[in-house]
Amino acid sequence: MGVRKSVYALAAAEVEALREAFLAVMELRDERGYQYHAGLHGLPLPIQCRHGDILFLPWHRAYLYLFELALQDRVPEVAVPWWDWTSATAHQDGLPPTHAAQAREDGRPNPLFDSEVILPLAELELVRERLPGALTDDDPPRTRRDPDLPDELPRDRTIRSILRAPTYSDFSFRLENVHNDVHVWVGGSMSAVPVAGFDPVFWSHHAMIDRLWYLWQLAHPGSLPPAQTLDLALAPFPMTVRQTLDISLLGYEYAVQTS
């Protein structure tokens, strides 16, 4: 079973394995590759991600799960770590060091820092026109960030309150609002839905969101999304809402946070 850890708890070898997995999928130019998976969240069209509705959490759980499988197909032992943006470290440093450095310790590029964004020319022109600052001016463009002050990240007390939400719907909508705040905090590509999935920190942000849903599930056993949604397909994934509800059946778990 894969174990997702805090990004701050990764050993040096685990960070290197994660970087090698990202690099390997970034080198693929088919449906196993980074451009394909990142593009499922937004561009290229059609945009299929679910936001502002009851499918937000299951859709993104399926998305993260299938991307993680793609990483493991290249480097079997990796798991997507979560970025706890409520932590004291995040409120001091902002982005996690695994993702913030442009180069690795040996000088090679850090694949967790940014990625290419390969889009049809017409869609790229629309991004440049309507979402200025979301991408670099390179050819092909790359993701960019414009983070806010570290202490402006969401706080632990906010998350503790959300975890006490009595119903799935209340929990989902409140957590999505905080999720949105972090996207805006990172800025650049992350602040623009059509290209947010291309930023490598997107995945650790969503691992944090998924972990919080898992913690809420543990505290509210039997509390499910509305019954009429359980057998809905989560397009474009070969999964229904019901199939996302038990992460042990998906083959992963979350490490216990020790600090």
The residue extents of the domains of the chain are 2-254
Is the pLDDT higher at 91 or at 105?
Answer: 91
- Mean pLDDT of the region 71-93: 97
Q: How remote is the C-alpha of 27 from its chain's centroid?
A: 20
What residue has token string 């623009």? 192
* pLDDT above 80: residue 23: yes
pLDDT of residue 257: 77
* CA 187 – CA 146 distance, rounded (Å): 5
58-75 as b/e: b if 16+ CB within 10 A: bbbbbbbbbbbebbbebb
pLDDT of residue 200: 98
- Mean pLDDT of the region 9-28: 98
Q: Cα dist. 64→89, 179, 247, 259 in Å?
A: 24, 15, 12, 24
3-state helix, strand, coil in the chain (%, to 5): 50, 5, 45
Q: How many CB atoms lie within 10 A of CB 108?
A: 10
pLDDT of residue 104: 92
pLDDT of residue 258: 60
**Using an 8 Å Cβ cutoff, are 95 and 8 in contact?**
no
- Mean pLDDT of the region 23-33: 97
- Mean pLDDT of the region 73-92: 97
- Mean pLDDT of the region 222-237: 96
The 10s digit of each residue's pLDDT in 111-154 is 999 999 999 999 999 999 999 999 999 999 999 999 999 999 99
H-assigned helices in the chain: 12-26, 34-39, 56-74, 88-93, 97-100, 121-130, 156-163, 168-186, 193-196, 201-219, 247-250
The 10s digit of each residue's pLDDT in 196-229 is 999 999 999 999 999 999 999 999 999 999 999 9
**Using an 8 Å Cβ cutoff, are 143 and 199 in contact?**
yes
pLDDT of residue 259: 52
- Mean pLDDT of the region 171-186: 98
Q: What is the mean pLDDT of the chain?
A: 97
Is the pLDDT higher at 207 or at 256?
Answer: 207
User: Exposed/middle/buried for 137, CB within 10 Å: 0-12, 13-18, 19+?
Assistant: exposed
Q: Calculate what percentage of the chain has a pLDDT beyond 90.
A: 97
pLDDT of residue 59: 98
Q: Which CATH class is domain 2-254?
A: mainly alpha
Q: What is the pTM of this model?
A: 0.97
